Amino acid sequence: MARYTLEELASKISGAKIENCADPKKVQVESVSPVNPGVTNSISFLASKKMLNEAKKTASSIVMTTSEFAKELEVPCLVVDKPDLILAQVLDLIYPPHKFENKVEANAFVHPKAKIGKNCYIGNFASVAEDAEIGDNVILEDGVRIGRGASIGEGSHVGPNNVIHHGVIIGKRFRSFGNCTIGGDGFRFVFANGKHNKIPQVGTVIVGDDVEMGSNSAIDRGGLENTIIGDGCKFDNLVHIGHNCVLGKNVVIAGYTGVAGSTTIGDNCTIGGGCGIADHLSIASGTIVGGGTSVRNTLSKPDIYVGWDYGLTFPEFQKLRVNIKNVVNFQKWARRIKAIESKLGLNTED
């Protein structure tokens, strides 16, 4: 961790101002902590009015917040326009990320016909195959495999034990964590003569710029066409994208979600954790799919979809839940009505 005074910290963040502090040279910060309860010599951030009361009682030495909230606090404040966004800069300053050397480790393998850019790190037991192209400032951590003819854009950081199969094209500033696989065969078999016969997958995977993939994610290569992941997509751990899928820009997918083959997801969609999305569907741009939802039909209008349904919006799903509850309760009501009729000596037909 690094230590800064409030004055030093403010000087490193464009547009930052200091409020509620007579001598910012004497206020020290060496960690980042939640605003509640806070820690001495730490900086916390306040971006929502929900935490304002907690911020008034915080033990932190500095609160990073907006000018609006700073007026209601007595603690020294680092004032910025978007505290939750600037938090990333503060974290990098106080907890500097590890800097990799410009180096190819002795036990790494780089094919003579591979092209390696400037200022790259290739880790222990990593391998780069024939005709692969690695851009400038790329990090390949230990155990990474880059297949023949694959391409990794500049500024990318490929996590340990990732496998990037042949012909995969990855854009700039890609980030992945451990054990991801990109460009493995799509899941296609034809059952004939008493067995499942494999159909070769001859497409590839094209990944845009600024994409991030969590640990153990898997993206299948296309069958005849390509699987495409748009710019700015962010995947949590254990996300699977099937062959021939096309994802637009800025799609966010939480963990344990699978998207079956040949499905198209529009721009700016948010998919919750544990979702199952069937094949050959289309999901409209701006759609939100709640966690645990099974999507079996095309979602043609942007809305919030939830449940195990066949494409119900959130209000429709709430009505369905009420109706199911009413059906269950009706059985109890029916038994009570029959008991009353029996006591009254009424004979009714079922």
**Active-site annotation holder among 157, 240, 243, 280:** 243
Phi and psi angles of residue 55, each rounded to the nearest 5 degrees, phi first? -65, -30
Residue 269 burial by Cβ neighbours in a 10 Å radius (0-12, 13-18, 19+)? buried
User: Within 10 Å of residue 108's Cβ, how many Cβ atoms?
Assistant: 19
* DSSP alpha helix (H) spans, 149-230: none
Q: How far is 350 from 344, CA to CA, in rounded Å?
A: 16
Question: Cα angle at 301 between 296 and 303, to 5 degrees?
Answer: 85
The type of residue at 31 is S
Tokens of 164: 């990037």
Amino acid code (one letter) for 53: N
Going by the DSSP 8-state scheme, the letter that residue 261 receives in this structure is: T
**Owner of token pair 């404040």:** 77
| CB contact at 8 A, 173 and 153 | yes
Active site residue 280: no
**How many whole angstroms separate alpha carbon 240 and alpha carbon 244?**
12
What does the alpha-carbon distance between residue 322 and residue 332 come to, in Å, rounded to a whole number?
A: 16
Which amino acid, one-letter code, is at 168? V
The residues assigned a catalytic role are: 243
